[in-house]
Structure 1
Amino acid sequence: MLDNAPRGTIVIEDLAVGMMRSLRKVVTDADIEMFAEVSTDRNPVHLDDDYARDTIFEGRIAHGMLTAGLISAVIGEQLPGHGTVYLGQTLRFLAPVRPGDMVTAEVEVTAIDYAKRKVTMETRCLVDGKKVLTGEAVVLAPSAKFD
C-alpha cells in the first residue's frame, strides 16, 4: 500500500526551509523478493525464515536500501519532485524493518542555496513512530528558468 501523496515538482524558486513531504508504504514479502532480484542481494537474512531466526534480528528483515529507496521516492516524486538530481545521501540504520511493517518516509528541507539550486534535506524513515533510518540528502532542484 502506498499513500496517494501529491506528485509533481516544486521548483527551487518555490522551495522554503521547513517544507516537508512524506509517504507511507507497507513493506511486503513481494517487495523484499523483488528488491533481492533487482539488486542481486540475496542475503538469507532477507529471504530465509529459518536462517534469519538465528541472527541478531531473530527473523527476516527488509534490505536497508529498500527502506532508503522510499526516501528517494519522496524526493523524486514530491520534494522537490520531478527533475530533481541526487548529489548525495547519508544513511544511518537504527532498527530493522520487517515484512508487514508500515514505513513512513519523511523529507524536510533544512537549507537552500538558491544560486546553485542546491537543497539540503533531513531524511528519515519511521515504523510505529520509531526512527529506523536517518540521514541527509543534497539535491539539485529543478528551476522554473529551465523549463
Structure 2
Amino acid sequence: MKFKVGDSAHYSQTIGEAQIAQFIGAVGDTNPLHVDAEYAKQTRFGARIAQGILVAGLISTAIGTKLPGTGAIYLGQSLKFLKPTYLGDTITATVTVKAIRADKPILTLETVCTNQRGERVLEGEASVLYEGPEEDV
C-alpha cells in the first residue's frame, strides 16, 4: 500500500450562506440556530452556527479527494463536536493515518476540523476501505 502511518492531508473551506443553504436543500435541517439570526442571537452561541454534520462533511471531502483519495469507501466515523462553527469561519479538515490493516486495504484515520484560529471544532476517527488502483493497494 502506498500509505504509511503519519501521512496526512487537509481540505479547507469557508462556511457561508451558500454552504448552509445547500446543506438545508440536501438534508432539510432548518433548525433556527442555523437560519434565524434573531433566534440564534438569544442562544448561548450569540449568532447563527453551521450544522455540525455540514462541518464534518469536510472530512469526507479530505478522505475522498486527498487521503486516501479516489476509491476511498467509508466504513465508519466517530465524531465529537467541541466548538460551534460560525458563518464566516474557515474550517480545515485534517486526516492522518493512524493504522493500516495488514490483511486488507483498510486505513484508520484521525479526523480533526479546526477553525481559522487553530481551535478544534470537532475530532474523531474514521475507518476507510481503499479501493484505488491495484498498484496502490
Map of 1:40 onto structure 2: 28
Any unmatched runs of 5+ in structure 2?
Answer: none
Any unmatched runs of 5+ in structure 1?
Answer: 1-12
Letter in 1 for 2:80: R
Counterpart Cα distance in 1 of 2:102 and 2:16: 39
8 A Cα contact 1:60 1:99, kept in partner: yes
Letter in 2 for 1:32: I
1:137 equivalenced with 2:123 (yes/no): no
Counterpart Cα distance in 1 of 2:4 and 2:95: 13
Counterpart Cα distance in 1 of 2:6 and 2:65: 18
Per the TM alignment, residue 146 of structure 1 is displaced from its structure 2 partner at its CA by 8.0
- Give the alignment's Cα RMSD to 1 decimal: 1.3
* Among candidates 21, 39, 53, match of residue 41 of structure 2: 53
Counterpart Cα distance in 2 of 1:145 and 1:24: 29
Per the TM alignment, residue 37 of structure 1 is displaced from its structure 2 partner at its CA by 1.4
The 5 A counterparts of 1:1-147 are: 13-127=1-115, 128-145=117-134
**Deviating 4+ runs (over 6 angstroms):** none
Counterpart Cα distance in 2 of 1:44 and 1:34: 16
Letter in 2 for 1:25: Q
Q: Structure 1 length normalisation: TM-score?
A: 0.88
Post-superposition Cα deviations, 1:85-143, rounded to whole Å, max 9, x if no partner, equal 10000000000001000111100000001321110000000011010000000010124
Question: SS state of the match for residue 39, structure 2?
Answer: helix
Aligned residues: 135
Counterpart Cα distance in 2 of 1:76 and 1:35: 18
Question: SS state of the match for residue 56, structure 1?
Answer: coil
8 A Cα contact 1:91 1:134, kept in partner: yes
Counterpart Cα distance in 2 of 1:82 and 1:144: 9
8 A Cα contact 2:70 2:132, kept in partner: no
Please say which of residues 60-69 and 110-119 is displaced more in the overlay. 110-119
Q: Structure 2 length normalisation: TM-score?
A: 0.94
Identity %: 44
Counterpart Cα distance in 1 of 2:65 and 2:3: 15
